[in-house]
Amino acid sequence: MSIDLKELSVHGQKSKKKKKESNPLDFLNKEISFSGNKLKDKQKEDFYSSMSMLLSSGIDMRSALKIIYQEQRKKKEKEIFNQLYEKLIGGDNLSVAMRNSEKFTAHECFSVGIGEETGRLKEVLHDLALFFANRIKQRRQLINTFTYPVIVIVTALLVVVFMMNFIVPMFVDIFSRFNGELPLLTQWVMNASEAFKENFWIGLLIIIGIIAFILSARKKLWFRKHVSQIAIKIPVVGTMLIKAYMARFCQTMSLLMGARIPLLRAIRLMGKMISFYPFEQALLHFEDEILHGKTLYDGMERFSFFDAKIRSLTKVGEEINQLDVIYENLSKQYSEELQHQVGILNGLLEPILIIFVGLLVAVILVAMYLPMFQMSNSFA
């Protein structure tokens, strides 16, 4: 949806887009949305980036939105931006049109409204584009980190299921013809295969039940509370999770404070954006502390996941009234640290998982061929 000004004709004709080369694994990086009436983060990034670029080029608001509307190819996006354009024609501001469309979050509408009032709309739109770009980048980093292990583990499970259901029973039939005593490892694998075959459907139903339970309970407060408490205690994973949400916290604070939104209002808006239970509780505590005349720094001291660096810099930012600058730099630092940890984890997981799968298959094969070696030795 991004606009190339060089391709826009004088009469506002549609520009032709070149097809990008496709990658077979690109689907792993695509954003998935289960809400058909909402704009995805990538679409919002393109929208804000295009609006900021067009307005900075001297194009008025209505013409800019008309160009973006004409660029749409999908019916849903075309309808959304057509509604915004018609609202502008009717005399509404962009922030009001966005709010009435119910396709944008409260903090987006509020930030755009502040930008309109202060004459900083172009800067606010640019900051929103950066916000969603960084948010997409962080999400993709985490997805790419855990995609490979999940694929390897699922593949290993499928291999084990196949071997336990088809390969091992073939050897069991062969061994049943001989009266010799089988090695202990072979007996264990054969017993495991038999138990696996007998309880396969029960196990499958249990797995389906667990997945259904998680999907039904994932939005409930008690479930999110316990899952988040367990997640942050997992070595490496917990640290990465905290880093990811800390980067998002700093990035959002930088965006809202840069738009000159009051601190209390910014905290309340952020509470609607972050759905990670520990941070939700922290934001509620911050709001209460600020209402009682205390500072954001005072509120952070209660929560251990706000490290000394962010607490001390928050204190400095409040004293010099530069929280937006402080949090922008902190967001970059946390994002770089997260990217570094992701790279290290990927480098460690790949050989570990390959060795794990190899050992798993090797144990089953050795258990099956060991009796045959013993029988050949006895015949010799």
Q: Assess whether 257 and 347 both reside in one domain.
A: yes
List the Cα angle 61/66/69 in 5-degree steps: 125
Contact 116, 236 (CB under 8 A): no
Q: Assess whether 351 and 212 both reside in one domain.
A: yes
Whether 26 is in a domain gets the answer no
Cα distances from 124 to residues 94, 106, 120, 328, 347, in angstroms, run: 12, 14, 6, 14, 38
What pLDDT, on a 0 to 100 scale, did the predictor assign at position 314? 93
The domain total for the chain is 2
Q: Assess whether 286 and 201 both reside in one domain.
A: yes
Q: Assess whether 65 and 136 both reside in one domain.
A: no
What pLDDT, on a 0 to 100 scale, did the predictor assign at position 32? 37
CA distance 346 to 344: 5
Q: How many Å is the Cα radius of gyration of the chain?
A: 28
List phi, psi (to 5°) of 182: -90, 150
pTM for the model = 0.69
Q: Assess whether 136 and 100 both reside in one domain.
A: no
What type of residue sits at position 341?
Answer: Q
Write out the DSSP string of 287-298: HHHHHTT--HHH
Q: Assess whether 267 and 364 both reside in one domain.
A: yes
Contact 261, 269 (CB under 8 A): yes
Q: Assess whether 138 and 96 both reside in one domain.
A: no
Whether 24 is in a domain gets the answer no
Whether 18 is in a domain gets the answer no
Whether 133 is in a domain gets the answer yes
What pLDDT, on a 0 to 100 scale, did the predictor assign at position 26? 40
Highest average pLDDT, of 28-42, 230-244, 307-321, comes from 307-321
Whether 307 is in a domain gets the answer yes
What pLDDT, on a 0 to 100 scale, did the predictor assign at position 146? 77
Whether 30 is in a domain gets the answer no
List phi, psi (to 5°) of 15: -85, 150
CA distance 306 to 283: 12
> pLDDT tens digit string along 71-108?
888 888 888 888 898 888 888 889 899 988 888 888 88
Reference 72, options 49, 43, 51; nearest CA is: 43
Q: Assess whether 183 and 75 both reside in one domain.
A: no
CA distance 82 to 367: 67
- pLDDT, averaged across the chain: 82
Q: Assess whether 347 and 200 both reside in one domain.
A: yes
The SS3 call for residue 307 is coil
Q: Assess whether 100 and 166 both reside in one domain.
A: no
Contact 174, 198 (CB under 8 A): no
Percent of the chain having pLDDT more than 70?
Answer: 88
CA distance 64 to 55: 7
Boundaries of domain holding 77? 1-10+38-104
Whether 6 is in a domain gets the answer yes
Cα distances from 319 to residues 308, 314, 355, in angstroms, run: 17, 9, 54
**Domain end residue (candidates: 54, 72, 104):** 104
CB crowding 349-374: b at 16 or more within 10 Å, else e = beeebeeebeeeeeebeebbebbeeb
Q: Assess whether 323 and 369 both reside in one domain.
A: yes
> pLDDT tens digit string along 115-151?
888 888 888 899 889 888 888 887 887 787 778 888 8
Q: Assess whether 94 and 140 both reside in one domain.
A: no
Reference 249, options 328, 304, 319, 313; nearest CA is: 328
Q: How confident is the model at residue 9 (pLDDT cuts 50, 70, 90)?
A: very low
The SS3 call for residue 13 is coil
Whether 109 is in a domain gets the answer no
Contact 254, 328 (CB under 8 A): yes
